[in-house]
């Protein structure tokens, strides 16, 4: 007969003397207790409802008639064959109709192939994704154990990069896994247990998988930080530092950003070795965008929006709101008012966000209501209007928002709702 000892777990509160209802009433209704409770309630309410107030006046950007400018025609100094990319890659580019490198591709691909660290300043729509994917695919094809980690600010952008990777690496045995929040982690863990040449993800989820010892940073040969300025804006700095600090120092680091704020420069100096800097600016974001404000009274704000979205000129619009719950509510109201709309925000699951984005791209809905964070990964052609239904928090947010319209050689309209009492 075995002599075993069973240790009973002590439950929370075990052994405590229960307060009588009278004592409890006296304790919770004393002046001091009520005072502390009021403070706690006020603090919690402030924390829940606090919003970053705008730090700029949108009326200063009114530009109803943007000047027509003829963009300079860029003549690349290389062809895709000149880069020395594999025939499989150049044949794929021919099939896709890519005949000439874009400015960022022309200037940055040779440096990446020489394994130089890169700081690339370029907006979306410049061919930036292919600029780093093409040489990395080539290097992976040459060296089978080459693994690249690509960090992006949003799951939508991560998925778009993977879709581009699939197109450009067609016919090659190159494998990838996308690791983003808002999607089931189980499938991502299974994906990482297989051999991967590319791991594409958001910093929070990649760090989580790293801490679970599923993603092994010591195997990474190259790191791409795409839209690094937005990752920093979104508060990923500590996650990024943690991830970069765990990757071997001999790594190849590529940093792409639309802007270079001070915290981005600090990250570059901390984690990159004598980087080559390439700056390709297509144009000022506002060159092709007519900008105006829409004064409103509180009781007419929604009706004014519906009237605007139903106008013939508004064919496809992104409406920005500041809060997740208000964005969801607004999209439902618009649909009920006869304006087909979908919403995209942080409370939606990965699948829900993808379905909303797909329905907007396919034209099944004409309006996408979004928060700033979710919208960073939205790259949809032919958006006629961007509407700031709620004011953006900063000038940078304003520029990022209105940059969803007026893309490539198209014209766009950006309208910002401003309460009459605040309009100067």
Segment 117-150, tens digit of pLDDT: 999 998 767 889 999 999 999 999 998 789 999 9
Looking at per-residue confidence, does 318 or 375 come out higher?
Answer: 318
Averaged pLDDT for residues 90-99: 94
Looking at per-residue confidence, does 156 or 312 come out higher?
Answer: 312
d(Cα 422, Cα 419) in Å, to the nearest integer? 5
Q: Are 226 and 152 in contact (CB under 8 A)?
A: yes
Backbone angles phi, psi at 189, to 5 degrees: -65, -45
If pLDDT is split at 50, 70 and 90, which confidence band does 55 have?
A: low
Q: What integer pLDDT is reported at residue 248 of this predicted model?
A: 94
Q: Are 168 and 92 in contact (CB under 8 A)?
A: yes
Q: What integer pLDDT is reported at residue 281 of this predicted model?
A: 67
Segment 64-87, tens digit of pLDDT: 666 555 556 778 899 999 999 999
Walk across the sheet containing 276-280 and list its strands: 176-179, 198-201, 148-151, 222-225, 252-257, 118-122, 276-280
Q: What integer pLDDT is reported at residue 301 of this predicted model?
A: 95
Averaged pLDDT for residues 211-218: 96
Q: What integer pLDDT is reported at residue 283 of this predicted model?
A: 55
Q: Return the minimum-mean-pLDDT range out of 46-55, 265-274, 330-339, 389-398.
A: 46-55
- Which domains are present in the chain? 58-68+284-419 (3.40.50.300), 81-280 (3.40.50.300)
- Checking if the pLDDT of 287 tops 70, the result is no
If pLDDT is split at 50, 70 and 90, which confidence band does 44 have?
A: very low
Averaged pLDDT for residues 27-52: 45
d(Cα 403, Cα 386) in Å, to the nearest integer? 9
The pTM of this model reads 0.68
Averaged pLDDT for residues 16-42: 47
**Smallest Cα–Cα separation from 403: which of 388, 421, 418, 417?**
388
Q: What integer pLDDT is reported at residue 347 of this predicted model?
A: 84
Q: Are 402 and 280 in contact (CB under 8 A)?
A: no
Of the ranges 7-21, 260-274, 391-405, the best mean pLDDT one: 260-274
Q: What integer pLDDT is reported at residue 216 of this predicted model?
A: 95
- Checking if the pLDDT of 403 tops 50, the result is yes
Mean pLDDT of the chain: 83
Averaged pLDDT for residues 301-313: 95
Q: What integer pLDDT is reported at residue 123 of this predicted model?
A: 73
Measured CA to CA in angstroms, residue 265 lies from 70, 90, 119, 152 at distances of 33, 35, 10, 18
């Amino acid at each position: 007969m075995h002599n075993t000892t069973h240790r009973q777990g002590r439950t929370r509160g075990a052994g405590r003397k229960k307060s009588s209802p009278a004592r409890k009433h006296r304790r919770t209704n004393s002046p001091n207790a009520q005072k502390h409770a009021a403070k706690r309630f006020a603090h919690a309410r402030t924390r829940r409802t606090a919003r970053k107030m705008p730090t700029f006046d949108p009326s200063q950007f009114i530009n109803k008639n943007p000047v027509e400018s003829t963009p300079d025609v860029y003549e690349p100094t290389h062809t895709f064959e000149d880069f020395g990319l594999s025939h499989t890659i150049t044949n794929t580019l021919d099939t896709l109709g890519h005949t000439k490198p874009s400015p960022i591709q022309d200037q940055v691909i040779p440096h990446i192939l020489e394994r130089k660290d890169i700081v690339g300043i370029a907006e979306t729509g410049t061919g930036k994704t292919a600029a780093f994917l093409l040489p990395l695919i080539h290097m992976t094809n040459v060296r089978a154990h080459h693994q690249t980690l690509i960090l992006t600010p949003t799951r939508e952008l991560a998925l778009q990069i993977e879709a581009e990777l699939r197109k450009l690496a067609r016919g090659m045995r190159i494998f990838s896994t996308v690791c983003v929040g808002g999607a089931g982690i189980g499938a991502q863990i299974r994906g990482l247990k297989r051999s991967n040449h590319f791991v594409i993800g958001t910093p929070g989820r990649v760090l989580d998988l790293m801490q679970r010892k599923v993603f092994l940073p010591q195997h990474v040969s190259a790191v791409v930080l795409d839209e690094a300025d937005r990752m920093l804006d979104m508060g990923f700095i500590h996650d990024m530092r943690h991830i970069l600090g765990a990757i071997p120092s001999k790594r190849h680091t590529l940093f792409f950003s639309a802007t270079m704020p001070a915290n981005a420069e600090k990250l570059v100096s901390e984690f990159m070795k004598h980087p080559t800097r390439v700056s390709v600016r297509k144009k000022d974001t506002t060159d092709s965008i007519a900008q105006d404000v829409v004064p409103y009274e509180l009781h007419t704000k929604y009706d004014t929006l519906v009237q605007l979205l139903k106008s013939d000129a508004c064919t496809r619009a992104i409406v920005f709101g500041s809060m997740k719950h208000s964005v969801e509510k607004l999209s439902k109201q618009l649909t009920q008012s006869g304006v087909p709309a979908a919403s995209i925000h942080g409370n939606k699951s990965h699948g829900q966000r993808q379905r909303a984005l797909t329905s907007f791209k396919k034209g099944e809905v004409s309006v996408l209501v979004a928060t700033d964070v979710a919208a960073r990964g939205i790259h949809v052609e032919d958006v006629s209007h961007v509407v700031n239904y709620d004011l953006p928090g900063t000038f940078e947010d304003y520029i990022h928002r209105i940059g969803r319209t007026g893309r490539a050689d198209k014209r766009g309209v950006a309208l910002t709702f401003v309460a009459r009492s605040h309009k100067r």
